Structure 1
Amino acid sequence: MCDTMVARPGQTKSGALLFAKNSDREANEAQYLQAVARARHEKGALVRCTYISIPQVEETHAVLLSRPFWMWGAEMGANEHGVVIGNEAVFAKIAPQKEAALLGMDLVRLGLERGKSAAEALDVITGLLTAHGQGGNCAHLGRFEYHNSFLIADQSDAFVLETVGREWVAERVGATRSISNTYTIGAEFERASQGLLPQAIERGFVKDGAPFHFSDAYANRKRSAFATGMSRWCRTSELLDARGRHDPQSMMAILRDHGPRAARERNWRPDGVMGGSVCAHASWGPIRRFGQTTASWVAELGQGRAVHWVTGTSSPDTSIFKPVFFGPGFEGAALPDFGPAPGGTFDPATLWWGHERLHRAVLDDYAPRIRAFAGARDRLEASFVARVEALLKRSGSAEEAGRLSQAIWKEAAEAERDWLAQVRRVSPRPGQSPSLLYKMHWAKLGRLAKMPA
């Protein structure tokens, strides 16, 4: 499952907009950071999405994406105009469509490629929903269909869009907002599809003439509870409200949050059949199969800033956020080398799978092994933020920004290699290691991924 957040300029230290997302998917479902250039297309051309082809537009914007390796669409991303979008699986009383159509991830990418502003991207996505619908298998392995919600933002505006099939409702964001795997829009919203209320009346979700509360009418609360959507939405909302004015590091801290219990317990470990933390770790049983954070992203937009702090790797607690300059004011900035695209099995040459050696080593005895390098991670990350901030304050050029980003990415890669060696020197403690079922689950994932022991 996932969590997506935004803090508008009045709630941030720099006066820029902040956007953040954890993408939670299957534990072996590698994600890939991909930059796609602006392009012009011939009249009548089609674009092949994950499952279906739809008419292409005359011109598509340059985009930076984090996408599961096997699909065309993206979990989150940004475009050259400073629009950012993330999506969530949501569960309604109406079953999602099994037949292939557009996936929510396809709609994220299409909104970015075709929308110059948050409002325009909202119109793009709702128009495509009406024309083509959403549906099809969203799972890497097995089957999993769902409806989608979206958080769509640019430097001055932000919207939450929640959908049920081809129907939808949209709310303009105030100061801060988060979404998770549950419907969150109530009786107050900016606009909705024409068929949303008639469908609710026809299906008996609301009486004709009675007040209409969208999430009360449509939400499958039991299914959302299994996905811990409501509890995580409450947690991210609380953290957004409690931490005052935000900066990139405060958003990173929220993405790394394991909940109040983990903060109290020195020997907390990500084990068991139930989860619910913002930073998600997969576990045994059906509930947490989609409970692994496979990539994380924090964007800062406006006030001369177009900085995307991305992990490109799983589990933000074992990862480090690294800057990419992409968007208004940084046109032409060189991007770091994201490396080759990963697949569904272990490949140490790829960024995502290379990191899995560290991530999965930490899971063997979480508490002492994360402590082996968490302090160094935070100090190095803080130094990255300081160097980026210094460049932004003196209005450094796009060329300088590109060089800085490339240098930081190399430093981060070297640090991860050191941290892996440090973690391997911490022997798992007798009686403190994860449960047998947890170890068996991750051993099976390792075999499926063909990871070395």
Structure 2
Amino acid sequence: MTNGDCFVVLPENCAEGTLIIGRNAEDEKNVNIASEVCFYDATEVLEGKTDGGATAETGGDVLRVILQKPKPGLWGGDFGANERGVALGLTWAASENKARDSDSLLGTDIVRLTLAVAKDVDDAVDRIGALVASHGHDNSKMNFIACDAVAAWFVSCSGKVWAAEKLEASFLRLPSGGLAVTTVVNKSSEGLDDAASFAAAHDAEAQAPAEGWCGPKPAGDGTYTQHDMFETLRAASNASSSRAATVSVLSAKGISCHWFTGTPNAAESVFKPFVFAPKPRISPLTQVQADADLTLLHKLHSQRKPAALEHLRSLERSCVDELNNYFSLQDHASDELDELLKDCVEAEVKFYR
């Protein structure tokens, strides 16, 4: 299971009043295992057997979801977003191997099931709590970060008990490793002892303080952009452990956009955009095909020539500028963006062949 080194910037810092979250997936043992990017329509987001074995039940309207999977064969994901502008990531998980083949849910399941129905971040926090209370495994400890265009929350879980804290700082780095919620608890399981540290009470170390912000630092003047977050994740990446990276730019008034590398180490990769257009189509190059170990995007990326990255970074910057211009003129995504991610992935691959 991958962990995630996350960076969150609240709207007072960001251009156009957006909220921006970036995540580097981290896993020293499995850095070369493919990370898949998969899109699910509302008719298919609940199909299949969950990774933990519990039945994928949910109520309410079902939403479309874009999902990153930390390895092939998983039903759920470690990061994703839905068409209502909710983004959710798994930042840390422990002892989940004991939960397989039982009537429980893994962190990857909770990401997918929450995104399938959450209308906003408050709904997402409540949904995570309900899933943990009903299908949490006694040996499992997990940490999530949930965002929409207005707010960000941390949710820490131990067995069937959970606690959540709303982010008050205007920006924060949330490292992987340990439970994030300690003594500040804004929502929780019923009967939780608010006077105690949640992490200590559940025999888990709290997250160690981050080593500091990386890359461009939010200045509090509304100028922080998705490109700044790209550079932040690149500055924080580690060639020996950093896997696929993701950035979500969440907008309350306009179009939210989600960026995926689909390849390891943000410092050696480029970000490709996805929006919830009327009928999105993404490239099969971001999914592992039968009898393969890697996505074709990952495989070709690993064989790239050094000069390719410079050209691709130029295309990335142009893509950011063109989309920002589009978003400034439109408040919804038209069908001309249906194949946005597909086109960008296939343009990247041309530089590798």
The two structures have a TM-score, normalised by structure 2, of 0.83
Question: 1:193 aligned to 189, 193, 207, which one?
Answer: 189
Aligned to 2:43: 39
Distance in 2 of aligned mates of 1:197 and 1:178: 27
Aligned to 2:98: 98
- Please give the per-residue CA displacement for 1:34-73, whole angstroms capped at 9, x wherever unaligned: 11111299xxx99620131325235532111111212111
Distance of aligned partners of 1:20 and 1:79 in 2 relative to their CA distance in 1, 3 Å threshold = same
Query: Which ranges of structure 2 fall in alignment gaps of 5 or more residues?
Result: none
Give 1:99 deviation, angstroms: 3.6
Aligned to 1:295: 244
* Residue 109 in structure 1 maps to residue 125 in structure 2: no
Give 1:195 deviation, angstroms: 5.2
Give 1:240 deviation, angstroms: 7.6
- Corresponding residue SS for 1:351: helix
Distance in 2 of aligned mates of 1:220 and 1:345: 39
Give 1:83 deviation, angstroms: 0.9
Question: 1:394 aligned to 313, 318, 329, which one?
Answer: 329
- Corresponding residue SS for 1:160: strand
Letter matched to residue 325 of structure 1: V
Give 1:121 deviation, angstroms: 1.6
Aligned to 2:258: 308
Aligned to 2:81: 78
Distance of aligned partners of 1:55 and 1:31 in 2 relative to their CA distance in 1, 3 Å threshold = closer
Distance in 1 of aligned mates of 2:351 and 2:98: 44
- Corresponding residue SS for 1:230: coil
Distance in 1 of aligned mates of 2:262 and 2:17: 26
Alignment check: 8 A CA contact 1:30 1:343 kept = no
Question: 1:163 aligned to 151, 157, 164, which one?
Answer: 157
Distance in 1 of aligned mates of 2:298 and 2:340: 22
Distance in 2 of aligned mates of 1:351 and 1:72: 20
Give 1:308 deviation, angstroms: 1.0
- Which consecutive segments of 4 or more residues in structure 1 shift more than 6 A? none
Aligned to 2:33: 29
* Residue 212 in structure 1 maps to residue 196 in structure 2: yes
Distance of aligned partners of 1:187 and 1:334 in 2 relative to their CA distance in 1, 3 Å threshold = closer
- Please give the per-residue CA displacement for 1:153-181, whole angstroms capped at 9, x wherever unaligned: 11222211011221111011222233222
Question: 1:177 aligned to 150, 172, 180, which one?
Answer: 172
Larger mean Cα displacement after TM superposition, 121-130 or 241-250: 241-250
Distance in 2 of aligned mates of 1:76 and 1:119: 18
Alignment check: 8 A CA contact 2:86 2:147 kept = yes
Alignment check: 8 A CA contact 2:13 2:219 kept = no
Give 1:322 deviation, angstroms: 0.9
Alignment check: 8 A CA contact 2:230 2:247 kept = yes
Give 1:21 deviation, angstroms: 1.2
Give 1:190 deviation, angstroms: 0.4
Letter matched to residue 251 of structure 1: M
Distance of aligned partners of 1:173 and 1:351 in 2 relative to their CA distance in 1, 3 Å threshold = same
Aligned to 1:18: 20
Letter matched to residue 53 of structure 1: A
Query: Which ranges of structure 1 fall in alignment gaps of 5 or more residues?
Result: 136-144, 199-210, 258-277, 283-290, 362-368, 418-453
Aligned to 1:9: 11
Number of equivalent positions: 338
Give 1:124 deviation, angstroms: 1.3
Aligned to 1:201: none
Alignment check: 8 A CA contact 2:129 2:188 kept = no
The two structures have a TM-score, normalised by structure 1, of 0.66
1:60-79 matches, cutoff 5 A: 60-67=62-69, 68-79=71-82
Alignment check: 8 A CA contact 1:176 1:240 kept = no
* Residue 414 in structure 1 maps to residue 350 in structure 2: yes
Letter matched to residue 391 of structure 1: Y
Q: Which has the larger radius of gyration?
A: 1
Aligned to 1:356: 302
Question: 1:125 aligned to 122, 125, 128, which one?
Answer: 128
Distance in 2 of aligned mates of 1:50 and 1:403: 29
Alignment check: 8 A CA contact 1:348 1:354 kept = no
Letter matched to residue 355 of structure 1: H
Aligned to 2:211: 234
Give 1:355 deviation, angstroms: 2.0
Distance in 2 of aligned mates of 1:20 and 1:46: 28
Alignment check: 8 A CA contact 1:333 1:398 kept = no
Distance in 1 of aligned mates of 2:44 and 2:295: 33
- Please give the per-residue CA displacement for 1:320-358, whole angstroms capped at 9, x wherever unaligned: 1011112xxx3x153342436316986677223332324
- Corresponding residue SS for 2:33: coil
Aligned to 1:321: 271
Distance of aligned partners of 1:27 and 1:406 in 2 relative to their CA distance in 1, 3 Å threshold = closer
* Residue 254 in structure 1 maps to residue 232 in structure 2: yes
RMSD: 3.1
Distance in 2 of aligned mates of 1:47 and 1:377: 36
Alignment check: 8 A CA contact 1:16 1:305 kept = no
- Corresponding residue SS for 1:170: strand
- Corresponding residue SS for 1:151: strand
